[in-house]
Structure 1
Amino acid sequence: MKIAVTSQNRKTVTEHAGACRKFWIFTVKDNQILTTQLLELPKEQSFRESDPHAEHPLDDIDVLITAGMGRGLPQRLKKKGIQALLTDISDPVEAVNQMLQVS
């Protein structure tokens, strides 16, 4: 499973998922984090700027965790088979671990 976490400042889970260009990508297996890498996108590949029907670098994730997003983004992600989740946890690793405990 691949989980993306919005982190525009590279440190915490941030809001404005549509405008975010920096994401921590977690690869998870058997509820354990295997790898973590930072994905940095150019402005034109932010969700806000990109075509919702075009291929996107985050198309292969299963879950997007963020501190905030507009109403349209969850529907856009759902059409690509991606679950969108809101969190109030600021640490990206803790947010992923919390999601894994709940699921």
Structure 2
Amino acid sequence: MTNRSVFAVLNTGKSMRIAVTSQNFRTITGHAGKSRRFIVYEADSDGRPKEVERLDLPMELSLHEYHGEDHPLFELALNGIVTQGAGNGFLQRMARHGIQVYTTSATDPLQAVSAILAGQPLPAAAPHTHDHGTDKGEHRHG
């Protein structure tokens, strides 16, 4: 979602909702597909983020494991997800649901969401590598 579309959402009077991957509910964490914990923010009428919900999903509901279209994240009317890393499959799946993924090296959830809502860039994320080994079902992430 571009800055222009962030402002377009806010100007329609609709809520801007952004989830942040946070396995410890304190910092932004990586590998969005494996994440089971999310902090959900909604922009108030002045465009400031307010925490409105926390998701603490069981392992079988990580997006890496669960492939149904009725995932709890998709029921939250999200506009975006902030994470420190995401693979192509995650990016494509979110795009199908109209959810913009923001990858960043930032660690503070509130500051990252505030920056997005203010139209400011986030610090770039470290490169994501996703290696599926060929021996004995190896599956590595870098």
Give 1:38's aligned amino acid. R
Provide the C-alpha distance between the structure 2 equivalents of 1:36 and 1:93, rounded to a whole number of angstroms. 12
Give 2:101's aligned amino acid. A
Q: Which protein is richer in strand relative to its size?
A: 1
Secondary structure of the residue that 2:31 maps to in structure 1? coil
Residue 12 of structure 1, CA deviation: 0.4
Question: Which protein shows a greater Rg?
Answer: 2
Give 1:40's aligned amino acid. D
Match of residue 57, structure 2, among 37, 41, 56: 41
Q: Which protein is richer in helix relative to its size?
A: 2
- 1:32-68 deviations in Å (ceiling 9; x for gaps): 12333221111111110111x4211111211000001
Q: Deviation above 6 Å: which 4+ runs of structure 1?
A: none
Match of residue 18, structure 1, among 33, 40, 54: 33
Aligned residues: 102
Residue 91 (str. 1) matches residue 87 (str. 2): no
Match of residue 47, structure 2, among 31, 36, 54: 31
Between the two proteins, what is the percent identity of the paired residues?
Answer: 39
Residue 94 of structure 1, CA deviation: 0.4
TM-score (normalizing by structure 2): 0.67
Give 2:108's aligned amino acid. D
Residue 74 of structure 1, CA deviation: 0.8
TM-align CA RMSD: 1.4
Match of residue 67, structure 1, among 72, 84, 87: 84
